[in-house]
Structure 1
Amino acid sequence: MALYRERLWASPLFYLALALVIPASLVILAPISIVAGIITAIVLYGGCVALLISAAPTISIEGGTLHAGRATIDLSLTGTATGYYGEDATRQRGTELDARAWMLIRGWVQPVVKVPINDPEDPSPYWLLSTRHPKELVAAINGSRRPEESES
């Protein structure tokens, strides 16, 4: 059972903005055939939505492992996670960002969590993860270590 699980879905406004593909395809194909334009518009919009849904990454903590998208790391190799909101989150994604960091960032999710990596063989100093629930993710990361692991 997962201690934490979150799917980084796009915001509803993004799906609404994708609907602009409908009039665009109608404008292009209506002079040829209105039926072809309507069918193409529906197929294109459905395809865009399906692509957006299938591309939404998942962040989870399960069995002492942090999964972020396709990447995984054992929590014994991580330091104390910290969450950032608002301007602090913007600075973490911008001016204070280390170019070596591994990132799972989604533009429609403002808060981020920074997870330091203590593995000497990992070139990334930390992971930076977009999350809608930074307090819960930080608590799950920091609370999932055994007491003997967090003391060392």
Structure 2
Amino acid sequence: MQNPTTDTRVRYRERLSPSLWMLVTAAVAAPMLTLTFTPLGSLPALLIGVAVALALIVLMIAGSPGIRIDGTVLRAGRAHIDARWLGEVTELSGEDARIARGAGLSARGWHLIRGGIDGVVVVENIDPADPVTSWTISTRTPDRLAAAIREARETTMRP
């Protein structure tokens, strides 16, 4: 008997790392902390300021969530769902994305939204046992993510 092969290739991968402005904001902590700790001496104050700013930048980058489609599984941050439970995929940018992140945000949906990232993909969840009705995911390339979700969904429909 032949062993069934599962499709485990990575169809899409993106890390929602902070924008350049967020990193610059974290770097501004260095001079502020240096001024705060100057009573300890200029060298220790400078070292503390630089160390804390670098730690903030590293934590922001390391803590940024990722989006992946491994085979037929969509992973966004810590959540995951099989593509067979995904319905209509809508890719949004500009004003439509702003509305989807704000007034158009589903109260029963699952959200992975990051500031500074314009694009959004909204995916319908058709699992009858899941109380979540949709997934709203920030992405820098909504067209590529939507295409990868559609491809993974089509793979689950093949016999």
Q: TM-score range by the shorter chain?
A: over 0.9
- CA distance in structure 1 between the partners assigned to 2:27 and 2:124 by the alignment: 39
- Cα pair 2:86 2:153 within 8 Å, conserved: no
Pick from 82, 87, 109: which aligns with 1:79? 87
Residue 147 of structure 1 deviates from its aligned partner by 6.4
- CA distance in structure 1 between the partners assigned to 2:44 and 2:156 by the alignment: 65
Percent identical pairs in the alignment equals 37
- Cα pair 2:93 2:118 within 8 Å, conserved: yes
Inter-CA distance 114–50: structure 2 relative to 1 (3 Å threshold): same
Residue 81 of structure 1 deviates from its aligned partner by 1.0
Inter-CA distance 102–142: structure 2 relative to 1 (3 Å threshold): same
Pick from 58, 68, 81: which aligns with 1:60? 68
Q: After the TM superposition, which of the residue ranges 84-93 and 140-149 deviates more from structure 2? A: 140-149
Question: What is the Cα-based RMSD across aligned positions, in Å?
Answer: 1.4
Helix, strand or coil at the partner of 2:143: helix
Q: After the TM superposition, which of the residue ranges 140-149 and 125-134 deviates more from structure 2? A: 140-149
- CA distance in structure 2 between the partners assigned to 1:67 and 1:74 by the alignment: 9
Deviations along 1:94-122, whole A, 9 cap, x unmatched? 11111111100001101100010011111
5+ unaligned residues in a row in structure 2: which ranges? 1-8
- CA distance in structure 2 between the partners assigned to 1:9 and 1:63 by the alignment: 23
Residues 1:97 and 2:102 are matched in the alignment:
no
- Cα pair 2:27 2:54 within 8 Å, conserved: no
**2:12 maps to amino acid:** Y
Runs of 4+ in 1 over 6 A off after TM superposition: none
TM-score by length of 2: 0.89
TM-score by length of 1: 0.93
Residue 146 of structure 1 deviates from its aligned partner by 3.1
